[in-house]
Structure 1
Amino acid sequence: MTCTIVVGGQWGDEGKGKIISYLCSKDNPSIVARGGVGPNAGHTVEVNGKKYGIRMVPTGFPNRASILAIGAGVLVDPEVLLKEIEMLNEFRVGERLIVDYNCGIIESRHREIDRSDNHLAKEIGTTGTGCGPANVDRVMRVLKLAKDVESLKPYLGDVSERINEALDRGENVLIEGTQGTLLSLYHGTYPYVTSKDTTASSFAADVGIGPTRVDEVIVVFKSYPTRVGEGPFPTEMPIEEAERLNLVEYGTVTGRRRRVGYFDYKLARRVCRLNGATQIAITCLDKYDRRCYGITRYEDLSEKGKSFIEKIEEETGVPVTLVSTGPELHQTIDRRE
Structure 2
Amino acid sequence: MTSTVVVGGFFGDEGKGKIISYLAIKDNPSIIVRGGAGPNAGHTIRDGDRVYKVRMLPSGFLNKNAKVMIGPGVVINPDVLLKEIRDFDASGRSFIDKHCGIIEETHLTRDSKGDLKEKIGSTGSGTGPANADRAMRVLKLAKDFDSLSSLIVDVPEEINSAISKNENVLIEGTQGTFLSLWHGTYPFVTSKDVTASGICADIGLGPKNVDEVIVVFKSYVTRVGTGPLANELTLEQAQSKGWSEFGTVTGRQRRAADFDFDLARRAIMLNSATQISITKLDVIFPSCAGMTSYDNLPEEAKSFIQNIERELNIPVTIIGTGPAIDDVIDRRS
Aligned match of 2:11: 11
> Does the alignment pair 1:96 with 2:93?
yes
Instruction: Give the distance between the partners of 1:303 and 1:225, measured in 2 at CA.
Output: 22
Matches within 5 A, 1:157-306: 157-306=153-302
Amino acid at match of 2:6: V
Query: SS state of the match for residue 217, structure 1?
Result: strand
Query: SS state of the match for residue 252, structure 1?
Result: coil
Gaps of 5+ in 1: none
Contact 1:24/1:60 (<8 A) preserved: yes
Query: SS state of the match for residue 12, structure 2?
Result: coil
Q: Give the deviation of 1:329 after TM superposition.
A: 2.5
Aligned match of 2:71: 71
Amino acid at match of 1:221: F
Aligned match of 2:46: 46
Contact 1:235/1:263 (<8 A) preserved: no
Output one character per residue of 1:283-326: Cα deviation in whole Å (capped at 9) or x when no partner. Answer: 00000111211121112111211111111111211110000111
Give the aligned CA root-mean-square deviation in angstroms: 0.8
Q: Give the deviation of 1:246 after TM superposition.
A: 1.8
Taking structure 1 as the reference length, the TM-score comes to 0.97
Q: Where has structure 1 moved over 2 Å in runs of 4 or more? A: none
Aligned match of 2:110: 113
Q: Give the deviation of 1:266 after TM superposition.
A: 1.0
Query: SS state of the match for residue 251, structure 1?
Result: coil
Amino acid at match of 2:106: R
Aligned match of 2:311: 315
Q: Give the deviation of 1:235 after TM superposition.
A: 2.5
Amino acid at match of 2:310: E
Output one character per residue of 1:193-237: Cα deviation in whole Å (capped at 9) or x when no partner. Answer: 000101000111111110000000000000011110000000311
Gaps of 5+ in 2: none
Q: Give the deviation of 1:46 after TM superposition.
A: 1.4
Contact 1:94/1:155 (<8 A) preserved: no
Instruction: Give the distance between the partners of 2:95 and 2:116, measured in 1 at CA.
Output: 32
Contact 2:223/2:254 (<8 A) preserved: yes
Number of aligned residue pairs: give it.
Answer: 333
Q: Give the deviation of 1:278 after TM superposition.
A: 0.1
Aligned match of 1:152: 148
Contact 2:45/2:325 (<8 A) preserved: no
Contact 2:45/2:324 (<8 A) preserved: no
